[in-house]
Amino acid sequence: MPVVRAAERLREATRGLAFGEPVAWVYRPLDYAWEIHRAYAGRFGDGPRRVIFLGMNPGPFGMAQTGVPFGEVAAVRDWMGLGGEVRAPDGTHPKRAVEGFACRRSEVSGRRLWGLFAERYGTADAFFAGHFVVNYCPLLFVAASGANLTPDKLPVRETAPLWAACDAHLREVVEGTGAAWVVGVGGFAADRAAEALEGMPVRIARILHPSPASPAANRGWAAAATRGLVEAGVWGLEAEP
């Protein structure tokens, strides 16, 4: 399973990386939620996929809880049919506890993203027949205050080795799935994809990130994302694999 092996290599490549201020905690869901991530990648990422949706990094109430990109608990449990035990890592911030599938907070970005796919394709198997979703960076960064720090806020000296590992992983995923499209969910992911995949026979598109912090995303995100995907040629007017 190329996608699973790529995730294993990314986990190993990022395990020894250290980060200074403003980062106080680093969450590594490919370690503590590996069994669920492996089940996700093995079931839904094995074989050819025409489109890869690329997120930035784990959210505190999504992948940090379930090990699945944009992994809003209800979507992972009820729509994908995945479950299992998540081993809470040592040294978490009190405001950012890892509760696994017992987490009661909903990740809005994940609810919107998976909600769009469920509305268009119905079942998870129908969506994943032609698509897969990964994050560019597998790490969640938390400040001393408990605030979520996105990877683009890190110093260049720390992002250089991290980007190298993440770029290599993305190339492996594209090669392993034979994807024709990589869709960056947000500008950061699209920009990283364009740089990492330069020279490869794959097209790059982008859609607005579904974060509730974005006023534009709070005004009909699903319709705007669908329109952008159709206009780019990623999707047709009707649902297709």
Say yes or no to pLDDT of 241 above 80: no
On whether the CB atoms of residues 142 and 148 are closer than 8 A, the answer is yes
Q: What are the tens digits of pLDDT across the range 34-77? A: 999 999 999 999 999 999 999 999 999 999 999 999 999 999 99
Average pLDDT for the chain: 96
Q: What are the tens digits of pLDDT across the range 12-35? A: 999 999 999 999 999 999 999 999
On whether the CB atoms of residues 29 and 64 are closer than 8 A, the answer is yes
Domain ranges of the chain: 2-231
Confidence (pTM): 0.97
Q: What are the tens digits of pLDDT across the range 150-189? A: 999 999 999 999 999 999 999 999 999 999 999 999 999 9
The domain at 2-231 falls in which architecture?
Answer: 3-Layer(aba) Sandwich (3.40)
On whether the CB atoms of residues 123 and 81 are closer than 8 A, the answer is no
Helical residues (DSSP H) of the chain, grouped into ranges: 2-15, 29-32, 34-44, 63-66, 73-74, 108-121, 124-128, 156-177, 187-196, 221-232
Going by pLDDT thresholds of 50, 70 and 90, the confidence category of residue 237 is: confident
